[in-house]
Amino acid sequence: MRPLAFLACGLSLISASPPAQPELHSDLIHSDLPLWTSDYKKMWPRAFVGQNDFGCIHNIRLGDWKFDQPGQDGSWYRLTNYGVFHCFLMVRSAFERSELETAKVSYSFLIDLGRARRRNEDVELWALQMGGRPSDYLLLARKPERGAIRSFEVLQRECPREDVRSGRNLAILLTSYCAINDQQELIALARRMAQRAPLGTLTFVASVGD
């Protein structure tokens, strides 16, 4: 009977082991040409012209944002305004906040993708469209709230198999990306990703210089 008792004990230990954590996906989403252009009415920033002034309207806080991921070192984004005649977000990213000053600028727009239903509540879906030729995308979500946006969930990005483009081996460099060249396809992907655990959170920290 002792061997059976030992086996039963071993089985109980195996069954008590924690379940494996699901894999999180952060594929590079890339379009040959920008999917949203200036004729889209739900793209930020927007130009305005008043009786005595003109400029750009933003719907988010401008400054330094922290990207936090569970179990990993965070990174930083700096979102600033380009000017008053042409309305762009200037996006810089770096692993350290001190590196943002010299980081490469990507001229970007925040795109409203509509809403999705998740766990009996509505969430807003957004995409950060970075660059014009070509464009890359972050998928974002948030609970609907009034006022300037101060935080997002950063959604996973698992590329549909048919959209994966893979290059030949180049040492340790990544040579594949997710090629999406249709608005509705990207929106559908964002809706699917909104049902999963997010990659992390993107949160406004402070205005530049604070």
Q: Which position has the token pair 């402070």?
A: 206
- Give the three-class secondary structure for 89: strand
Give the model confidence (pLDDT) of 21-62 as tens digits: 678 999 999 999 999 998 899 999 998 887 778 888 999 999
Query: For 140-186, how does the pLDDT look when each residue is reduced to its tens digit (9 = 90+)?
Result: 999 999 999 999 999 999 999 999 999 888 888 888 999 999 999 99
3-state secondary structure of 156: coil
Tell me the backbone φ, ψ of residue 190, rounded to 5 degrees: -60, -40
| Whether the Cβ atoms of residue 193 and residue 153 lie closer than 8 Å to each other | no
Cβ contacts of 38 within 8 Å, gap of 6 or more: none
Residue with the bigger pLDDT between 53 and 10: it is 53
Q: Quick one: pLDDT at residue 7?
A: 39
pLDDT tens per residue across span 78-119: 999 998 788 999 999 999 999 999 999 999 999 999 999 998
pLDDT reading at 1 higher than 80:
no
Q: How would you classify residue 120: left for phi > 0, otherwise alpha for psi between -120 and 50, otherwise beta?
A: left
pLDDT for 137 beyond 90: yes
pLDDT above 70 as % of the chain: 90
> pLDDT: is 172 or 8 the higher one?
172
- Residues 65-83 have a mean pLDDT of 93
Long-range contacts of 50-54 (CB under 8 A, 24+ apart): 54/84
